[in-house]
Amino acid sequence: MKRNLRFRAAGAYADEVAAHLGDLSLRASVLAGLRLDDGYRFCPAKAFIPHSPHHLWSDIRKTWSEYKSLLRDLNQYFLCETGILVQPIDISNRPPRQSDHLQFALLAASLLAENVHAHCALSAALIRSGHPKAAKSVLWEFNNRGFEQSSNARSRLNRNMSAVADSLGNVDEAIHYARLAVTESPENQLARASLTEALAQREVHAQ
């Protein structure tokens, strides 16, 4: 196999491992977020709630190690072939603590650039960590990049944008995005609940 084909094949495999690590990190962030008792109404998609935390952490440790090794080997290979040292992606020796929902969410969003669920998880983690403005930046930037999404995914994105607006005290904006969430997915009970809650907040502010 020619050198450039070998390198491209290795790079493609590294992308697969990165995507898998991103998916695992998203699930880890969801699990840690569900275990937080801070009064925040956290409603992640059921598909990302791990069935077996033990298996999840085992997979994370294995995939984390594999990804680090791949990055190191690819950089070494590229250096030998081209004489150029590529700046490696910053990834620590160990995964974040199991309770660190924010760090796992940051990793998931960085590895899954087009995944709405990863960015919604990051936004929620930032709100719960006391950074609502950063949460807004995450979702607004993701929305402006114009990735093609299903109606359910767009509904989730708008619902999370409504939650961010609410956390910043922007009641009218919260209602606007909640209405968009319902428009995208009229049968979604969480979207309807988001709109009901946003409208209730407007009544409270009007008193």
| 29 neighbors 105 (Cβ within 8 angstroms) | yes
Report phi then psi at 141, rounded to 5.
-65, -40
Taking the C-alpha atoms of residue 194 and residue 175, their distance in angstroms, rounded to an integer, is 8
**pLDDT one-digit tens code per residue, 120-163:** 999 999 999 999 999 999 999 999 998 888 999 999 999 999 99
pLDDT-derived band at 86, boundaries 50, 70, 90: low
DSSP code for 207? -
**pLDDT one-digit tens code per residue, 18-73:** 999 999 999 999 999 999 988 888 888 899 999 999 999 999 999 999 988 887 77
* pTM for this predicted structure: 0.87
Residue 88: its pLDDT value, please?
A: 52
- Average pLDDT score over the chain: 87
Q: In which region does residue 34 sit, left (phi positive, over 0), alpha (psi from -120 to 50) or beta (all else)?
A: alpha
Q: In the chain, what are the domain boundaries?
A: 3-114
